Structure 1
């Protein structure tokens, strides 16, 4: 006996054919590349203008060149999303982290307790800062930037870490409110 899959969101999810052309084309490109459509694209397509703004900022943060590697950017997402209890982002970005780091264990380690994960001291300092931004941004001060600097991070890196943490705080909250489900495909990626 098979059980029906729960819905991917508690809000309406438009059919692909109902989406504006630019959004449908983006969703189809993601589907072609990954072999499935991550539910975040379907859920956020409910509000097209916000979809466009969300992914424009996402891409500006996560795909830009800089000192932070793509794997380090995903570490920030996984650790702060765990702090925010966002199942979707921990699972989805955990899969991306495993792929980008070429390490099948790292996402689980970072999600559960990054301080004991097999990552560098500088990466732990990076996540310490990201977690502080996520939970107590009002306490961030010059000493935090000095700590990052002592681990080789620049002022621009600090901005990137903070922006990723802040952006995914928004994402985590939307995912939790919409009851966004991680795609089953994410669980096996990079393992």
Structure 2
């Protein structure tokens, strides 16, 4: 049960967006730019970073929703997402993505945990400064989103189908049009 009366039965962050639309707009815009805007990283790869950070933060709603969002946008689907959540170093992704996931893991721990070695490894693997920047910002933003969702004790659907439906909506319409969906 949420810590505050939200006036709706929506899950996770969508319940918070319905409660405070004025804060939902800039947060949705941030997610849109980071996860769907122009980038050398695919939308699926960026969602994978969001799912990994959310997993490390133990935010069930964000982990399950962004895992579903990544899975529908990656050829390898949920098996790859599950491998990355469990151990990105052994997952069948590019060396560049492995290095960026290591950067994201460090950001999740603390911004100061990102070392020169993390950045060097990412660059050697082919990551650009923009990709490194965006990885750090995605990881930092998801630490905030995770704490927002869990700090107010929002609910999370138990059914995988609810996340699949959210994934269909987000991949088709984006975050700016994140119409609250009933699970």
Shorter-normalised TM range = 0.7 to 0.9
The equivalent residue for 1:64 is 37
Based on CA coordinates, which of the two structures has the bigger radius of gyration? 1
Instruction: Could you tell me which runs of 5 or more consecutive residues in structure 2 were left unpaired when the two chains were aligned.
Output: 168-183
1:15–1:179 Cα change, 3 Å: closer
The equivalent residue for 1:11 is 4
SS in 2 for 1:59: helix
* Native 8 Å contact 1:122 1:151 kept in 2: yes
* Native 8 Å contact 2:15 2:154 kept in 1: no
Greater RCO between the two (CA within 8 Å, min separation 6)? 2
CA displacement at 1:164 relative to structure 2: 0.2
CA root-mean-square deviation: 2.2
CA displacement at 1:58 relative to structure 2: 1.1
Runs (4+) of structure 1 moved beyond 4 Å? 187-190
- The alignment's TM-score, normalised by the length of structure 1, stands at 0.76
* Native 8 Å contact 2:6 2:16 kept in 1: yes
1:154 and 1:134 map into 2 onto residues whose CA distance is 20
Task: Determine which of 134, 137, 143 is the counterpart of 1:160.
Answer: 134
Alignment length (residue pairs):
163
CA displacement, residues 10-67 of structure 1 (integer Å, 9 cap, x when unaligned): 3323359xxxxxxxxxxxxxxxxxxxx7642222321222111211111111111111
Task: Determine which of 100, 106, 119 is the counterpart of 2:73.
Answer: 100
- The alignment's TM-score, normalised by the length of structure 2, stands at 0.79
* Native 8 Å contact 2:108 2:139 kept in 1: yes
1:51–1:188 Cα change, 3 Å: closer
Instruction: Could you tell me which runs of 5 or more consecutive residues in structure 1 were left unpaired when the two chains were aligned.
Output: 1-6, 17-36
SS in 2 for 1:45: helix
* Native 8 Å contact 2:11 2:155 kept in 1: no
